[in-house]
Structure 1
Amino acid sequence: MTDLIATVEPPSLTPVVTVARSDIRAIPSIEVGGESHWLGEHRDFRRHDALARFLPEHGRFSLAWVRLRDGERLDVHEHPTKSMILVCKGSVRLTGDLEESLGEGDVVCVPPGARHGFQTGPGEDFQGLSVQFEGAGLYEDENAPRVRFTEAASASMAELERLNDTRLRRFAGHHLFELFDSGRMSREPLLRDRFVSALYVWSVFFQKMLYARQSVCTDPRLREIYAGHLRDEFGHDQLLRDRHAVSEDVYDPILEAAGNWFVMQMHSADEAAKIVIVHMVVESSCHVFGERTKAAFQNGPAAETSYFDIHAEIDGDHRDIGRDHLRTLSPEQFPQLSRACEEAWDQLELVFDRIAALVGP
C-alpha cells in the first residue's frame, strides 16, 4: 500500500528579502526640455530588481527615497499624478504654490498640476519617501520623466510677454492712427476708400496665413484650437470688401512681400513660433487696430456688421490662444521665440507703413 501513496512535497516558500537603501541606484539630476535639474539623491524602488519584482503592477503605485542636503534644492515643478512626500529625517522648506517649513513626520500631499519644490538650508539634511499613486514613478524612466519644471519657464514666458507688450505699445502709436484720431478718416470719403482698399490686401494675406497654418498642423490638439480660430475669422476679407465698398485693387510690392512673410512662416516655423506670430503679435495688433479705427465706420449701412467692430470685439480673445502651449516649453526655447516676436512685429509695422503710404498724406 505504501507504494501507492504519492509523496507530497511541501510548497516552496519565497524567502524574505531585505534591500539596503544604498543598493537602490540613485540618480542626482534629470534632463527635461534640454535643461538639467538637480534632484539631490533620488532612488526609485523599481531601479532595484528585487523591489521591482515585489511591487505589484496591478493598481500600480511608485515609491522612491529622496534626499537633499546642505543648500541643495529641487526646482519648482508639476506633474500629472498625485504625489505624497513623507519627511523621514531632517527638515526642508516646501516651495511653489505653498511655502512652508517641514520637519520629521510631516506629510505633503500634492495634487496633479500643483507647483511645488523643496529647498534645504546650509547644513540641513532632508531624507524622505516620495509616493505616486497612479502609474510610473516621476523619474522611473530617466529618458521620459513625468514632470515639467515651471519656475524658469514661467520667468521666460513673462519676459516674452513683456517684449510683446513693449512692441504692442509702440504699434499703438503708429502714425496711421493719427488719421483716425484727427477725424479725417471719418470726414474724408476718398481717404477712407484708399484706406480700406489697401487694408484689404493685408486682410487677404491674413486669411492665407490661417489657411496655411491649418493645412500643415500635425498636432491634433493644436489643430482643433486653430480650427476654431479659423472659423471665427473665415471670410473677413470678403466682409471688408463687401461691407466697406473696396473700390480698387491695390498692388504694392513691399506690401505683398511683407504679407507673404506671414504666410511663409506657417510653412517653416514650429508651432510655438506660429503661436507667437499669429496670436501674440498679429491678433494683439488687430485688437488695438479695431479699437482705434472702429469709430470711423460706425455710421452707414455697414455699421452693424463692421469689419472693424468685429475685430475690436473678438480679437481680445484670440490674443490668448496658445498661451498654455507656450507655458509647457523649456527656457532654452524662448530666445528663439523672442526673435520670432521681434521679426513679426518688424514685418507688421512694415505692413502698416505701406498702408499709410498708400492712403497718402
Structure 2
Amino acid sequence: MTTQQISPVPQPTTFPRPLIVARDTIRALTSVEVGGEVHQLGEHRDFRRHDELADFLPEQGRLSLAWVRLRDGERLDIHEHPTKSVIIVCKGSVRLIGDREGMLAEGDTVCVPPGSLHGFETAPGEEFHGLSVQFEGAGLYEDEVGPRVRFTEAATAAYTDLERLNAARLRRYEEHRLFEPFDDGRIGADPELRRRFLSALYVWSVYFQRMLYARQALCVDPVLREVYAGHLREEFGHDVLLRERHGVATDVYDPILEAAGNWFLMQMHGADEAAKIVIVHMVVEASCDVFGNRTRVAFPHSGTPEESYFDLHAAIDEDHSRIGRDHLRSLSPARFPELMTVCQRAWDQLELAHDRIAAHILR
C-alpha cells in the first residue's frame, strides 16, 4: 500500500505595508557615561533602539544614501523596487501614498519593504527634504539609465478606466426622467408638483445625511477622517434646510425609495474606504452637482446660495465630487475590478431612488 503525497496548498503572495515610525517613538538617549564621566548628548535616537526598526535594518549590506526633495505640489508617482528602502523626513512635511497613506512630519521615518507600492506628494506651497537609504546593492537611481524602480502605469490605466465608467454613467444620469418636468417648466408652474417633489426628495436627503454620519463615525484612517470631517461640515443640516426653507410638510413612505436609501447607508458599515469614496464622491456627489443645476430653475431664490438647498448644491457639489481621487489613484491595479462593480451598483441604486422621486411627481 502506497501513501499518496499531498502537496501543500500554495499561499497567495502578499506584501507587507510600509512601516511608519514617528521620531518620538524611538527611545531618546540624552547622556552617556564614558570613563567615569557623564557627557550630554542633547537628543540621540538610534534607530536600533526601536524594535520594529531594528528588525527591519540588516546587519550587513552595501549602504546607499541619497537626499530627496519635493516642493510646491511636486509628486513622486507610485512605484515599487526590489530592495528595502528607508526614507527619513529631514525638513518639512509630505504625504505618503500607495499601499499605506499618511502625513509625514519632520523626523518621521518610512520603512518600505520590497514590492510595496508607495509614492510621495506635497501640497502647493509645501516643501519636503529627506534622506533615502538602501542597504542592498546599488541605490535606486545610482544607474541613471536603468534605475531599480518600477512605476505603476497599470494602476494609472485602471484608475482611468474607473473614471471613464463613472463619466459614462453620469452622462446617462443627465438624461434621467426626473429632470423632464423641470426642463419643460411643469414643476415651476405647478405648486402641487413642487410639493410632491420636495416631499419625496426629503426622504433621500435624510438618508444622505445618515450616510455621511455613518462614514465619519466608522472611519479609522486619520487622514481620510479629517477629509471626511470637512465634507460633513459643509453638508451638515441640508435636510433641515430643505424642510424649513422650502416648506416640506408631507411625509412620504415608499418602500423602494427606503430600500435604495438604506443601500447607501449600509455600504458605510461594510465597505472599505476606497469603495466609500467611489459611492459618496464619484457617484452621489457627482449626481448632486447635476441635480442642483437642473432642478433649481423651479425654485428661484433672491438670497445667498447658502439659504437655498438647490442653489447651495449647485455651488458646492462639483468640488465635493473630487474628494478622495488621490486615494484612488494610489491603489494597486488589482483593486479596480471590484471598484468598477461598486461604481455600477451605486449608480443603479441612485437611479432607482430617483425613479421613485420621479414617480411621486408624475403619478
Shorter-chain TM band: 0.5 to 0.7
How far off its partner does 1:77 sit? 3.1
Aligned-partner Cα distance in 1 for 2:184–2:347: 25
Contact 2:78 2:330 in 1 (8 A): no
Contact 1:202 1:259 in 2 (8 A): yes
How far off its partner does 1:302 sit? 9.2
Could you list the runs of 5+ residues in structure 2 that have no partner in the other structure?
A: 1-12, 18-55, 68-76, 89-118, 122-128, 138-147
Aligned-partner Cα distance in 2 for 1:232–1:341: 24
Q: Which residue of 262, 269, 273 corresponds with 2:275?
A: 273
Q: 1:33 to 1:331 in 2, by over 3 A?
A: farther
Quote the residue 1:282 is aligned against.
Answer: 284
Contact 2:305 2:315 in 1 (8 A): no
Q: Please report the TM-score for the alignment, with normalisation by the length of structure 1.
A: 0.63
Quote the residue 2:131 is aligned against.
Answer: 134
Quote the residue 2:197 is aligned against.
Answer: 195
SS at the partner of 1:289? helix
Q: 1:157 to 1:295 in 2, by over 3 A?
A: same
Quote the residue 1:225 is aligned against.
Answer: 227
Quote the residue 1:119 is aligned against.
Answer: none
Contact 1:156 1:334 in 2 (8 A): yes
Quote the residue 1:26 is aligned against.
Answer: none
| CA-to-aligned-CA distance 1:101-142 (integer Å, 9 cap, x gap) | xxxxxxxxxxx859xxxxxxxxxxxxxxxxx972432989xx
| CA-to-aligned-CA distance 1:160-208 (integer Å, 9 cap, x gap) | 0000000000000001101000001110000001000000000000000
Quote the residue 1:61 is aligned against.
Answer: 65
Aligned-partner Cα distance in 2 for 1:351–1:308: 18
SS at the partner of 2:79? strand
Aligned-partner Cα distance in 2 for 1:138–1:255: 59
Contact 1:61 1:133 in 2 (8 A): no
The 5 A counterparts of 1:310-349 are: 310-349=312-351
Aligned-partner Cα distance in 2 for 1:172–1:264: 26
CA RMSD of superposed structures (Å): 3.4
SS at the partner of 1:136? strand
Aligned-partner Cα distance in 2 for 1:352–1:139: 58
The 5 A counterparts of 1:294-313 are: 294-299=296-301, 305-313=307-315
| CA-to-aligned-CA distance 1:1-53 (integer Å, 9 cap, x gap) | xxxxxxxxxxxxxxxxxxxxxxxxxxxxx97699xxxxxxxxxxx9986545x
Aligned length: 253
Aligned-partner Cα distance in 2 for 1:297–1:139: 67
Quote the residue 2:178 is aligned against.
Answer: 176
Q: Please report the TM-score for the alignment, with normalisation by the length of structure 2.
A: 0.63
Q: 1:282 to 1:134 in 2, by over 3 A?
A: same
Contact 1:244 1:302 in 2 (8 A): no
The yes-or-no answer on 1:352 pairing with 2:354 is yes
How far off its partner does 1:321 sit? 0.3
Percentage of pairs with the same residue? 61
